[in-house]
Every structure is written in C-alpha cells, then in structure tokens.
C-alpha cells in the first residue's frame, strides 16, 4: 500500500522520493534491457528470535514521527531503535498497558501518536509523551470499536482521519481531533453499502476515495457521500472464480491502476478502460507469481510494486510483465528468513521492511543495488575469480568451478558458457579459471588453476591449450596460471604458480621463461607469480607468493627484489603480494596478504632509493589482506579485501569502507577478481557473484539521522520521570544522583553498527568526545550547576546530524549548599558579627576611660623607654664591636678574621658557580715579633703593649683597604692579602719586615727600642688546579708552618704554595710541614724566602734598651 499518512515531514519525504528516483536511474545504468532491478540479488538483514524478537509473526510495521520502528506481533508490540528491541505486552491490572497482545494493525500520526489495532482488544493509541496506551473513544465517551472486536487494518487518510477495518463490524471512521465516529457496514437491502462487514484492508486512492478489501472482494468508498461501489464480482470473474473472492490487500499505484491481492491470485484494474488483468502462479513457469495467496501489497517511492505471498516476496517488472521472486534459501543467511510474507513497509529512508509469518522481519536497502551485485554467469557457480572485456559488449566471467561465461553487457543475458569436457581437448581445460585477458587482437586468453593457459578461437569457439612440456624449452613453465598482462608493446606476460614468469612469443607460439634464480640479477625471487603490472617507464612489477616484489627490466632481464624487513617500516609490508596496480598518475600500489596497502615512493629507474609507505587497518582499511586494486575516474583507489571494499583517497589518505549491507556480494572477495572496463565501470568478484558499478553513480543516504535519547538511568536503574526518555526536554538531578547514564541512538536503520557518535556535556567536557559506535555515557559526581548534554550522530554513509540532541541538565545542590541555605548562613553570620561588634563596642567604651588615664603615664614611660633603648643600642654596638675587635690594637681579633674569611670564601665560590668566573685567591700571612719577651722582661708588659699597638699601625699603613688584618694572639698578627699571589705576598712581606725593622718603638719615659719580625705566608687555594684540596684554615696552618721554618732557617720571611704536581701528594698538609726540602726539590712546592736579618737590631736587643741620645746616628 502507498503510505500518504505515515507521519513523515513533506521535506523529508521529498528528499527520499528524489533519492528513490535516483536509485532507479542509477540501477538502470548498471543493468540490461529488462531492468537490472529485477535481476539483481537482494541481501536481507533479519530481526528475529536471535535479535530478541519474542514472537516471529510480524503482522504490521510502521515508523513513528520520531523515527522509531514499531512491529505488531501476535505476542505484543515491539519498538526498534536500530540496536535493541523493546517488547511491550499487556499487563493485567496495570493502567496504561496494551489492551491485547495480538497486534494486527498499526498507524502513525504526525502528532506523534501511534494507533494500535488488536485482535480482540479494540483500538488503542499510545501517548508519545508518557508512553501510556489509552483506548480510542468517541466524543460521547464510548469505545470507537467494541473492545472485543478484532481489528484487521488501520489507515490514516490525508485529512488525518483514522479508518479502522474490523473482522465483523465493518469499517469505522474516526476524526482523531473531534473524536467524531462514522460507521460503514453491509446492508443486504442497500447495494451502495459494503459488500461484507469483514474488512481486511484499506487503501486511499489519488482522488481521496478509499479502497476497501473485504471477505467478498473489493469496494470503492466515497468518504464524502458515504456511498460504496462494489467491484468484487468483476475481480472474481477475471480470476475465473465461481463466486466472490476474498481480498487480502488493495493498492492504487502512481498510475491510478488498482491492485487487488486475493487468495486466488493478483488482479489489476487499469485506470484507463477499467480492464482487469490477472496474474496467477504457474508452477515451473519462470516470471509468474510465486503463489496465488497474496497477503500484502506495496508500491515504493521508486514505483516498484512489491507483493507479499505465502511462497515468497515478488517484485513486479512492469516493462517485462513478470515477477522476480525472493525466497528463503537455507544455505544463504542473507536470504528472506521465511517465505510467508504478511506485511510490507517502506520507511522514510527508503528501506524496505518485510514482515513474515514465523521468522520475524527482514530489511532490505534499495541503495545496495547501486553496487550492481550479480551472480555468476552460470547458475552452477557463483564464485567469480576473473574478468575480461572485449569490444563486442561482452563481459567475460571466470568462475571457480563453473568455467567461463560470456555476458551480453546490453541485455545481461549469458551469451554462452564454456565448461571443461574431459574427452574434448578443444574445450576449456579446467573449470577453475584464475585469470582472463582479451588482448589487442581481440583474442581471449584464460589462465586455469591446474590445466595451463587456454586461447579461445572466436570463430570455432574452441580452445587451444598451452601446457608444460619437459621436452620443449619454450613450453609453458607450469600448469597453474595465476595472472595475465599485455604490456604497451603488445607482449603477453603469464604469471604461473610453480614456474615463475613467462612471456609469450607470438612468432614461435612459445614462451620465454623468467625462472627462479637463487643468486645474481637474472631471474625472479619466487616461482609463484601472483600479480603483474607495467609502469610508465616500461618496467614490469611482479608480485609473488612469499617472495616479495620483483622489478623486471624486460629489455635486459635484470631483476631488482624488494622484500619485507621486520625492523624497517619503509620496506615492503609483507612478502606475499596479491595485487599490483599502477594508477593514472603513474603511482605504483601493492596489495599484500596481511600487510595492507603499500605505496611505492621513488622512481623505478632508481630502485635503491625506493621506499614503501604503508596503509593498514590502523589507518582505516577494511582488512589488511588486499586482493585487488582499481582506480576510478576521480583517481581514487578501490580495494577488495577479505573484510569488504575500501575506497582510498591517495591525496588525503581518507578511507571509506563498504560491506555486504551496502550491497556487496559479500564481505570477502576473491584473489585476482578485479577489473576496470573501458567505460570506467569497476568489477570485483567474490564467493557470491560479483559487483559491477560506476563509483560516481553510487548512492548514499544524504539525510541526517534523527538522534534521540533512549534511556536515562540513575545508578544503572531506569530513572523515574514523567515522560519517556525520547520526550524529555530537560533532566533534573539531585545531589544524591552520583551515577547517571544516558543512552542515545541515531534512528537510521540501514547499517546501525556503522552509525557513529560524538557527545559533549557542556560545562563538564572540554570538547566533543568521539564515541565511535558507542551510544551511552556515564557521568559520576557532577558538581551542582547547569549543563547541556549534546549528541551528534552520523549514519552509515557518514552524513552527520550536526544539530543532533541537545538536552539541558540541572544538578541541584545539597540542601546545605542551596541559595536559601547560603542566605541563612549570611543572616546568621551577620547576627553573630553584630553581637560581637556590640560586645566589642561596650568593651571599648569601658577601656576608653582607662586608656585616657594611662595616656599620660604611657607618654612619660615612652620617653623614658626611648632613652633607655638608645642607651641599650649604643651598648649593643659597643659589645658587638668588642667581640670582634682586639681592645689593645684596635685591629680585628681571631673571631673577626674567621668570620670575614669564611664570608669571603663562600662569596667567591658562589660567584664561580653562578657566573663561571674563577674564584679570587688570597695569601694568608702570619707575622710574629722577635724578642718581645725579653723586652717585656726588661721593661714590663706595658712596654710590650706599646710595641704591639705601633706594629698594628704599621700593618694598617702597609695593607690595602680591602685586606683583612687581625691580632691573632700574643705577639702574632695575621694578614689576609685578598686577590694576591706569591709575588704580591713577597712585596708585602718585605714591606712589613722593613717597616718593623726600621721602626723606633717608644716605650715612654724617653725609652726607645728596636726589634724585628718573622713572617710566614701561604696561598689559598694552595693548589690553584685543585681549589678544594685544602681549606683556608689548613692554608693558615701552612702559613704558620712557614713562619716556623723562617725562624728556624733565620729567614726574615718565608712563604709557599703548591704547584700542580702537589695535588698528587698524599697527606699534603703533613708532608709540607715535615718534608719541605723533598717537596721543593721535586718541584711540588713554590717556595719564596729571604735571608736578610739586620745584625745591629739583634745586638741592640741583646744589650737592652737605651735612651734615644745613646742610639747611633741614623737610628
């Protein structure tokens, strides 16, 4: 039946109609004179018990306004979303459930309501918002159809009126808006009434009239006048029946012809002339109706007429006036599941749904015909293994086991079949054809699996066979012929299995062999040649089984070999090559077993530079075993694999896969079965026939799929909601709803497993989440706030619904986190703050008076304390200076020097680490006064103190501003000469020695004395090449040791430092003190000394002090 009232939007229907017309046009382009539609096989997808269908009798099928598919069965109502079947049954005592489980009829309105006709439960309608089922009542509140009545059909006309066909109560019309009811029944006294009260089907004609199928024939009802014209007797007479014939189905097609399906055949009442034509089943007569028991009729949007019978599904070919029948085939899982067809439906995407009596529903996609699936030319064998084409509109099909067929490209008919006849040497030598080729002379060559190479004589239809002959060197090298190629020079190349490659010599009628060669450049790597191709430079690419890829120069016989290397991804991806293809731009492509597709990068003329770029399942290929490669007119590559057909874009690397559900003969193809005709048509063969198609004419579903929410769960349990999930406009969650799951579906049924999804929870997800085929998402512990859950979906042809599903989601905060709770918290906080403030104000008032009384006292005490603080600060400064200063000489003391040297060394080490500059060195100098004890003994300690203060003045005068000078203790002083080396130290030591020796020390009371000093010094770092060898404290010890040696050796001063060789001396500190001479002799020490010691100073000190007038002149 035509469905003018199935609830689809006009724009969608128009788009579908245009696509359907295009299907018919494109399909005709593949076909032959009688129409390829009728001749092509159909692949059905089943929804039965295996898919979860509880009962197999599908009485009615309809698609609702949202896009869900509904099935009426003998055991309840089933909703299908492309993935799952939801089974709805009567629940006794539960309001809103179905009135009866036997669902005989369905209709869908544009307002979303679903009308359900039951067998013994009247008519109900489903509320699309709540999912409840309600009885259909009249305006008076009565049931439109008695609850016990058996409903046989439902129809919504163009006005939106519902027509109900009943088994015993005639036909009922219901205005679903006003609930007004009209009843049409049979009256024996009135010939303008229904022919019978048992109504089985209703259909609407183009003029608005209704066609009513009854137990006694077919009637025409004028809804305006209510009058009926009975046509049953005319149909019965045409069918040759002696009495009335039951009409099971009725349909007015797009031409205005009326089709009536009966238990006695199919009748057509032509609109012009009202002639009745009859179609009956005739056993053993091809093209006739499969059964006279016609249960269902449907004209699809392409104008094809479908007939559901008790013995299969028939498609009527209007031009040939014949039927093509599709039945269940036990060996073919893609055939019709059951021959008893009781319902037919076409959805808004153009898919055909076929309801059967016992095996559920079958689905067929008309767009699959654009892939031009055909069976093999010989019914005995459908496994196609080779193609060839001549200039006489002949397509040659080689099969595996059924020989060779010649197909007339214009009619699709098989012109001839060639089979092997054991006793006929002129017949095809082997029915297992592995390769076929028509050369430039128009001669057909056929390679067989085990019987050699055959050449067909077109005139005599006899074959000349070439086989191996050990006695003839120019015979065919092996019986198995796997591939054939005619190069641009007209040479015929033969790839054999077991004999390598051979070139046919037409002059001698023999072959030149290119056999296997283990070493050297001559010969192939393997004797099993599986693929051949010639590149633009005239070189020959030879694919082998297990031996990799060979590049042959036909002129020189030189062979370059390419093999797979496991650790090098730029090499051939696998050593078994099934296909080699040269694209229109000269690119060479390799199809491998298990390695995917390889693209050769580089020039064949420079083979050493050749690399391979691989594409595999990881990149999107249907499978990594590539049997065939062909280019289309747009430069795209088509790859036949064992997992479907892949279309590859060489420029972008984009891949799109096609499978049996798209119309392929199967997901698996055959090795070597690929071909491109001169017209650009591509052919690929497999176990179930072949596909022949023009890539630019393939049809795709361009309608974006509707996206709906199918389930809303909390903690993996359906959430309680006032509306069904698909009708939810928003979702509200409580603070305890920690685990939420949302399920969704794209309502496109062509290939649901190939639909793709992406989703995003705005406010939570940072972007779109690519979900692939996954159609659910779970969120946990969402923070309180507002979100929007969005879903986009693409159908199996990659068309995205960018708008998709958009659902606001609100997560309520916990009661203690609500706005009113926060307001309460704020008020409470304000009260507490006010109380604290008031308490504080009273306290401040009490304290204010006390503060005023203390103000004067505080002011006085403040002045007093300030004065005392100033005194304390002064004392602290004095104490600090005293702790670092020698009180006698005013120089720094030992503590001062230690502190300053430690800071200096640390600062230099940090500067070296940060800036890379070498740290500054310094010389540590120990100065000891000679003969101070005798002076103290002779003149008292006050005399010694006077000498020490005057020596301190000398040191201040001799040292630079940045150097450190300190009294180390007793009569010893230490000077740190910063940034100096030994040479600088010699000058300073001599300056100090000289100044002390020449100094006249005044002791008071006119007494004067002269004395001398000894000096020892050492450099820090002691060894410049090893700065960390000795610390500055150890270097100071070495300076003290130098002082000791200076006194011992009667030197005025002595100093040293280590050379680079000193770094290797073990126990350097002790060795310097104990083994000075050896170290100096070995060059490990740089020693500086002076022998000068004035004798007069010594004599004077021995004699004792004199008055100044007693000193010699010049002292």
Q: How confident is the model at residue 767 (pLDDT cuts 50, 70, 90)?
A: very high
Contact 1003, 1009 (CB under 8 A): yes
> What are the DSSP calls for 88-114, one per residue?
E---TT-TTS-S-S-EEEEEE-TTS-E
Phi and psi at residue 310, to the nearest 5°: -80, 0
Alpha-carbon 919 to chain mean position = 59
> Long-range contacts of range 214-217, CB-CB < 8 Å, 24 or more positions apart?
214/246, 214/247, 215/244, 215/246, 216/244, 216/245, 216/246, 217/244, 217/245, 217/246, 217/247, 217/260
Q: What is the percent of the chain with per-residue pLDDT over 90, rounded to a whole number?
A: 78
Say how far apart CA 240 and CA 233 lie, in whole Å: 10
- H helical segments located in 978-1023: 982-998
Structure tokens at 833: 């703050």
Kindly state the average pLDDT of the residues 780-796: 96
pLDDT at 880 (0 to 100): 65
Predicted structure pTM score: 0.70
> What are the DSSP calls for 156-201, one per residue?
E-TTSEEEEEESSS-EEEEETTT--EEEE-BBTTBTTSBS-S-EEE
Determine how many CB atoms are found less than 10 A away from the CB of residue 746: 29
Q: How confident is the model at residue 462 (pLDDT cuts 50, 70, 90)?
A: very high
What is the average pLDDT value for the chain, to the nearest integer? 90
pLDDT at 379 (0 to 100): 55
Q: 572: which strand partners? A: none
Alpha-carbon 91 to chain mean position = 45
Say how far apart CA 575 and CA 901 lie, in whole Å: 78
- H helical segments located in 814-923: 819-884, 894-915
Superfamily of domain 57-184: YVTN repeat-like/Quinoprotein amine dehydrogenase (2.130.10.10)
Contact 748, 699 (CB under 8 A): no
Please say if the pLDDT value at position 35 is more than 50: no
- Beta strand 785-794 pairing with 800-811: antiparallel
Please say if the pLDDT value at position 63 is more than 60: yes
Q: Residue 920 gets which letter from DSSP?
A: P
Kindly state the average pLDDT of the residues 938-960: 94
pLDDT at 1072 (0 to 100): 87
pLDDT at 876 (0 to 100): 65
Please say if the pLDDT value at position 1111 is more than 70: no
Q: How confident is the model at residue 40 (pLDDT cuts 50, 70, 90)?
A: confident
Per residue in 1058-1079, pLDDT (tens digit) is 999 988 888 888 888 888 889 8
pLDDT at 850 (0 to 100): 83
The angle subtended at Cα 422 by Cα 420 and Cα 427, nearest 5°, is 40
Determine how many CB atoms are found less than 10 A away from the CB of residue 1102: 9
CATH (residue range 891-1110): 3.30.70.270
Nearest to 791 by CA among 755, 826, 823: 755
Determine how many CB atoms are found less than 10 A away from the CB of residue 723: 14
Q: How confident is the model at residue 479 (pLDDT cuts 50, 70, 90)?
A: very high
Say how far apart CA 902 and CA 1031 lie, in whole Å: 10
CA atoms within 13 A on the CB side of 681: 22
pLDDT at 549 (0 to 100): 97
Sign, CA torsion 885/890/894/896: positive
- H helical segments located in 3-138: 10-30, 36-39
The 689-693 sheet, strands edge to edge: 373-374, 689-693, 682-686, 674-676
Instruction: For residue 489, give every residue at least 6 positions away whose Cβ sits within 8 Å of its Cβ, in sequence order, or none.
Output: 538
Please say if the pLDDT value at position 1113 is more than 60: no
Phi and psi at residue 753, to the nearest 5°: -65, -20
Q: 456: which strand partners? A: 444, 463
571 in helix, strand or coil?
Answer: coil
Determine how many CB atoms are found less than 10 A away from the CB of residue 870: 10
Contact 313, 341 (CB under 8 A): yes
Nearest to 478 by CA among 490, 489, 466: 466
Reply yes or no: is the peptide bond before residue 421 cis, omega within 30 of 0: no
Nearest to 669 by CA among 1008, 386, 894: 386
Please say if the pLDDT value at position 1090 is more than 90: no
CA distances to 228, 336, 633, 645, 841 from 691, rounded to whole Å, are: 51, 20, 17, 10, 97
pLDDT at 26 (0 to 100): 45
Sign, CA torsion 1072/1073/1078/1083: positive
721 in helix, strand or coil?
Answer: coil
Alpha-carbon 985 to chain mean position = 77
CA distances to 536, 541, 543 from 577, rounded to whole Å, are: 20, 11, 5
Contact 278, 294 (CB under 8 A): no
Structure tokens at 1076: 């000075």
Contact 532, 580 (CB under 8 A): yes
Query: How far apart are the two ends of the chain, measured CA to CA in Å?
Result: 146
Kindly state the average pLDDT of the residues 276-302: 95
pLDDT at 382 (0 to 100): 81
pLDDT at 31 (0 to 100): 42
Say how far apart CA 560 and CA 926 lie, in whole Å: 87
Nearest to 164 by CA among 120, 208, 117, 203: 117
- Beta strand 645-648 pairing with 637-641: antiparallel
Q: Residue 522 gets which letter from DSSP?
A: B
Per residue in 602-634, pLDDT (tens digit) is 999 999 999 999 999 999 999 999 999 999 999
pLDDT at 914 (0 to 100): 84
Per residue in 195-210, pLDDT (tens digit) is 999 999 999 999 899 9
Say how far apart CA 469 and CA 382 lie, in whole Å: 33
Per residue in 487-510, pLDDT (tens digit) is 999 999 999 999 999 999 999 999
Please say if the pLDDT value at position 827 is more than 90: yes
Nearest to 364 by CA among 69, 147, 46, 70: 46
The dihedral region occupied by 1074, where left means phi > 0, alpha psi between -120 and 50, and beta the remainder, is alpha
Instruction: For residue 76, give every residue at least 6 positions away whose Cβ sits within 8 Å of its Cβ, in sequence order, or none.
Output: 54, 55, 87, 88, 89, 90, 98, 101, 103
Say how far apart CA 253 and CA 298 lie, in whole Å: 9
Contact 992, 1015 (CB under 8 A): yes
Contact 295, 285 (CB under 8 A): no
Per residue in 1002-1045, pLDDT (tens digit) is 998 889 999 999 999 999 999 999 999 999 999 999 999 999 99
pLDDT at 21 (0 to 100): 45
For the 383-466 domain, the top CATH level (class) is: mainly beta
pLDDT at 993 (0 to 100): 95
Domain at 707-817, CATH from 2.60.40.10, 3.30.450.20, 3.40.50.150, 2.70.98.10: 2.60.40.10
Contact 150, 166 (CB under 8 A): yes
Q: How confident is the model at residue 1112 (pLDDT cuts 50, 70, 90)?
A: very low
**Burial of 570 by CB count in 10 Å (0-12 exposed, 13-18 middle, 19+ buried)?**
exposed
Higher pLDDT, 870 or 364: 364
Nearest to 1056 by CA among 1027, 1029, 1083: 1083
Contact 73, 62 (CB under 8 A): no
Say how far apart CA 533 and CA 589 lie, in whole Å: 10
CA distances to 83, 104, 198, 445, 1112 from 167, rounded to whole Å, are: 35, 11, 4, 67, 162
CA distances to 235, 244, 315, 634 from 263, rounded to whole Å, are: 12, 11, 18, 53
The angle subtended at Cα 293 by Cα 287 and Cα 294, nearest 5°, is 75
The 922-929 sheet, strands edge to edge: 964-969, 972-978, 922-929, 1013-1023, 1053-1058, 1085-1090
Please say if the pLDDT value at position 831 is more than 80: yes
């Amino acid at each position: 039946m035509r469905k003018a009232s199935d609830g689809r939007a006009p724009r969608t229907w128009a788009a579908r109609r245009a696509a359907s017309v295009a299907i018919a046009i494109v399909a005709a382009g593949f076909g032959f004179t009688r129409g390829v539609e009728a001749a092509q096989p159909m692949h059905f997808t089943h929804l039965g018990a295996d898919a979860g269908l509880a009962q197999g009798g599908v009485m009615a099928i309809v698609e609702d306004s949202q896009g869900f598919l509904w099935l009426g069965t003998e055991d309840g109502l089933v909703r299908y979303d492309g993935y799952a079947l939801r089974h709805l049954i009567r629940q006794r005592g539960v309001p809103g459930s179905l009135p009866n489980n036997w669902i005989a009829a369905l209709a869908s309105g544009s307002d979303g309501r679903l009308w359900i006709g039951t067998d013994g439960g009247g008519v109900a309608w489903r509320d699309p918002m709540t999912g409840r089922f309600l009885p259909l009542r009249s305006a008076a509140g009565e049931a439109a159809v008695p609850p016990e009545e058996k409903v046989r059909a439902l129809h919504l006309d163009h006005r939106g009126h519902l027509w109900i066909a009943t088994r015993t109560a005639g036909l009922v019309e219901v205005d679903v808006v006003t609930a007004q009811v009209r009843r049409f029944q049979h009256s024996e006294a009135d010939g303008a009434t229904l022919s019978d009260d048992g109504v089985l089907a209703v259909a609407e004609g183009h003029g608005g009239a209704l066609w009513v199928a009854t137990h006694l024939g077919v009637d025409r009802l004028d809804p305006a006048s209510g009058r009926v014209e009975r046509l049953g007797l005319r149909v019965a007479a045409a069918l040759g029946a002696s009495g009335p014939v039951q009409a099971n189905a009725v349909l007015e097609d797009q031409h205005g012809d009326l089709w009536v399906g009966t238990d006695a055949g199919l009748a057509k009442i032509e609109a012009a002339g009202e002639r009745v034509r009859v179609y009956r089943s005739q056993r053993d007569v091809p093209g006739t109706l499969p059964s006279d028991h016609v249960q269902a009729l449907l004209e699809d949007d392409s104008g094809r007429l479908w007939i559901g019978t008790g013995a299969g599904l028939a498609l009527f070919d209007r031009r040939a006036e014949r039927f093509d029948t599709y039945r269940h085939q036990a060996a073919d899982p893609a055939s019709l599941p059951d021959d008893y067809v009781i319902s037919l439906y076409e959805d808004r995407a153009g898919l055909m749904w076929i309801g059967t009596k016992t095996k559920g529903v079958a689905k067929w996609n008309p767009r699959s015909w654009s892939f031009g699936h055909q069976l093999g030319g010989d019914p005995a064998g459908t496994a196609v293994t080779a193609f060839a084409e001549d200039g006489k509109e002949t397509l040659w099909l080689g099969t595996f086991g059924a020989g060779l067929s010649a197909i007339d490209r214009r009619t699709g008919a098989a012109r001839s079949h060639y089979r092997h006849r054991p006793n006929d040497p002129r017949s095809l030598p082997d029915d297992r054809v592995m390769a076929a080729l028509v050369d430039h002379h128009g001669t057909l060559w056929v390679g067989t699996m085990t019987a050699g190479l055959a050449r067909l004589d077109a005139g005599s239809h006899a074959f000349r066979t070439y086989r191996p002959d050990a006695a003839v060197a120019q015979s065919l090298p092996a019986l198995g012929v796997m591939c054939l190629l005619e190069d641009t020079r007209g040479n015929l190349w033969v790839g054999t299995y077991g004999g390598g490659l051979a070139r046919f010599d037409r002059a001698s009628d023999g072959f030149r062999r290119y056999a296997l060669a283990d070493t050297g450049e001559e010969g192939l790597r393997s004797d099993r040649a599986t693929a051949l191709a010639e590149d633009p430079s005239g070189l020959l690419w030879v694919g082998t089984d297990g031996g990799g890829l060979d590049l042959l120069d036909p002129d020189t016989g030189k062979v370059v070999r390419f093999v797979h290397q496991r650790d090098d991804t730029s090499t051939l991806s696998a050593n078994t090559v099934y296909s080699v293809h040269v694209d229109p731009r000269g690119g060479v492509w390799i199809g491998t077993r298990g390695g995917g597709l390889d693209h050769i990068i580089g020039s064949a003329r420079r083979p050493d530079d050749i690399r391979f770029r691989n594409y595999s399942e990881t990149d999107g290929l249907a499978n990594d075993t590539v049997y065939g490669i062909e280019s289309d007119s747009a430069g795209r590559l088509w790859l036949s694999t064992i997992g479907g057909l892949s279309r590859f874009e060489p420029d972008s690397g984009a891949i799109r896969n096609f499978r049996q559900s798209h119309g392929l003969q199967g997901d698996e193809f055959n090795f070597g079965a690929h071909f491109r005709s001169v017209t650009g048509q591509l052919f690929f063969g497999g176990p179930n026939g072949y596909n022949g198609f023009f890539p630019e004419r393939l049809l795709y579903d361009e309608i974006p799929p509707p996206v709906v929410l199918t389930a809303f769960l909390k903690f993996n349990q359906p959430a309680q909601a006032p509306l069904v999930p698909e009708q939810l406009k928003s979702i509200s969650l409580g603070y305890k709803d920690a685990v939420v799951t949302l399920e969704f579906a794209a309502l496109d049924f062509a290939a649901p497993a190939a639909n793709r999804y992406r989703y995003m929870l705005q406010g939570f997800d940072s972007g779109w989440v690519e979900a692939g085929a996954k159609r659910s998402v779970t969120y946990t512990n969402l923070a309180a706030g507002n979100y929007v859950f969005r879903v986009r979906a693409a159908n199996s042809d990659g068309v995205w619904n960018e708008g998709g599903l958009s659902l606001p989601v609100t997560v309520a905060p916990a009661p203690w986190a609500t706005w009113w709770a926060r307001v309460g918290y704020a008020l409470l906080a304000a009260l507490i703050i006010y109380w604290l403030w008031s308490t504080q104000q009273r306290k401040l008032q009490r304290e204010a008076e006390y503060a005023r009384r203390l103000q004067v006292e505080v002011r006085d005490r403040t002045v007093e304390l300030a004065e005392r603080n100033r005194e304390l600060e002064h004392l602290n400064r004095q104490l600090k200076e005293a702790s670092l200063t020698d009180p006698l000489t005013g120089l720094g003391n030992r503590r001062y020097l230690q502190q300053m040297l430690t800071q200096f060394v640390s600062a230099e080490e940090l500067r070296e680490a940060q800036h890379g500059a070498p740290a500054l060195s310094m010389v540590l100098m120990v100065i000891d006064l000679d003969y101070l004890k005798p002076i103290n003994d002779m003149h008292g300690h006050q005399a010694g103190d006077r000498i020490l203060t005057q020596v301190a003045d000398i040191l201040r005068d001799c040292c630079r501003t940045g150097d450190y000078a300190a009294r180390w203790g007793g009569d010893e002083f230490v000077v740190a000469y910063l940034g100096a080396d030994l040479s600088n130290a010699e000058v300073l030591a001599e300056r100090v020695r000289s100044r002390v020796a020449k100094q006249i020390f005044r002791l008071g009371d006119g007494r004067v004395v002269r004395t001398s000093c000894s000096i020892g010094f050492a450099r820090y770092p002691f060894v410049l090449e090893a700065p960390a060898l000795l610390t500055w404290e150890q270097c100071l010890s070495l300076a003290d040791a130098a002082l000791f040696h200076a006194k011992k050796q009667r030197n005025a001063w002595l100093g040293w430092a280590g050379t680079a060789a000193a770094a290797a001396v073990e126990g350097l500190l002790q060795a310097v003190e104990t083994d000075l001479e050896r170290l100096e002799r070995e060059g490990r020490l740089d020693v500086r000394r002076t022998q000068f010691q004035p004798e007069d100073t010594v004599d004077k000190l021995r004699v004792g002090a004199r008055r100044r007038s007693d000193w010699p002149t010049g002292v």
